[in-house]
Amino acid sequence: MKELNLNVIEKTIETVPLGTKASFSKTVTEGDVILYAGITGSFEPVCMDEGFASKSPAMGRVIQRMLLATYTWPVSTMITSPGSVTVGQQATFYKDVKIGDTIFVTGEVMEKREEKKLVFIHMEIHNQNHELVMEGKVTNMMRVR
C-alpha cells in the first residue's frame, strides 16, 4: 500500500510570480470524446455521429468545446498546485478541433490580486498547424502566507 506523502510543499500566492509559464500538449483521441460524453452527457451529433457531422459546417466530427477547455487544467495545475482551487474559467473558441488533432496549451500568470488571494492565468490553445483554437483565462484562489 502506498503511503501518504505529508511533505508536499504547498504553493502560495507569494511563491507563484507574475510571468510563470507552463505548457501541455496532447493528441485528442476517440476515447477522449467518448469518455467526456459519458461523464457529462454531452452527446452532440456533430461530435458523436460521423454521418451527421459530415453534412455540418464542420464537415466532420469535432470534439466538444468544453472538453477542449478542460485541457487547460493540467497547465493551471502545474503553475499553482498543490495549494490552489480553480474558481473561474473563461474561454473563447475560434476553430474546431477534430479527433486526431494535436493541441498545444500554454499558460502564463498575467495578474495577481493578493488581497483577494487570486491568480489569473492567460491560456491559449493552438493546433498542430499553429492556429489559435481557444483563448481564455483561468482564475485560481490560493492561500496567502
Among 48, 55, 52, smallest CA distance to 33 is for 48
* Cell of residue 95, nine digits: 476553430
pTM to 2 decimals? 0.90
Query: In which residue are the cell numbers 502506498 written?
Result: 2
In tens, the pLDDT along 77-120 reads 999 999 899 999 999 999 999 999 999 999 999 999 999 999 99
* CA pseudo-torsion sign 78, 80, 86, 92: negative
Q: Which fold has domain 13-28+63-142?
A: Thiol Ester Dehydrase; Chain A (3.10.129)
In tens, the pLDDT along 26-83 reads 999 999 999 999 999 999 999 999 999 999 998 999 999 999 999 999 999 999 999 8
* Cell of residue 2, nine digits: 502506498
